[in-house]
Amino acid sequence: MRSGSRFASVVASNGRIIRTVGRSPAILLVAVIVIGCGPDTGGRLGLSGTVTFQGAPLKTGTIEFASDDAKQLSGSTITDGKYSVPADKGLLPGKYTVRISAVEDAGAAPTGPPGPESMTQQAKALIPPQYNVETTLSAEVTEGGSNVFDFDLK
């Protein structure tokens, strides 16, 4: 191998000469591939947490995080009191207004044919307005924080 050459010649068992790349460029290539393989979230961060209502995990519902300028909005469904927003759908660091909604089970499905008569049952809001349309809830998403937000609704 010549000094300063990036390639080394190796004789294979069949007598052919094979050129191989030296160690330094190969290590650099592997490092670039490994570092560049992470998903680009554009600075968005994932968040998760729990929601309880009247002391019990909220069976089903939705949670929404909205910035004051309405430029950032994300959310998730709540199942058995838990929610999670992955980083690719998450939020940039900042303060957010939180809205939590759920409806009572409307009961049995209509028995008649589809039409206006079958749509008379409306779902009743389970969560009081101070947690959704007139929310008092907030959260601050931080780059170095856990971004786990638990809400205990009374």
CA atoms lying within 13 Å on the CB side of residue 63: 31
Q: Going along the chain, which residue ranges are E strands?
A: 7-11, 17-21, 47-53, 56-57, 60-66, 73-79, 82-85, 94-101, 137-141, 151-153
Here the tokens at position 121 are 């049952």
Model pLDDT, residue 42: 87
- What is the C-alpha separation between 129 and 104, in angstroms, rounded? 14
Q: The whole model's pTM is what?
A: 0.67
- Mean pLDDT throughout 136-140? 97
CATH of segment(s) 47-105+118-153? 2.60.40
Task: Indicate the SS3 state at residue 111.
Answer: coil
The answer, yes or no, to whether residue 66 has pLDDT greater than 50, is: yes
More confident residue, 31 or 80: 80
The answer, yes or no, to whether residue 49 has pLDDT greater than 60, is: yes
Which residues are 110's β-sheet partners?
none
Model pLDDT, residue 92: 96
Given the DSSP bridges, would you call strands 47-53 and 151-153 parallel, antiparallel or unpaired?
parallel
Model pLDDT, residue 62: 98
Q: So where are the chain's domains?
A: 1-38, 47-105+118-153
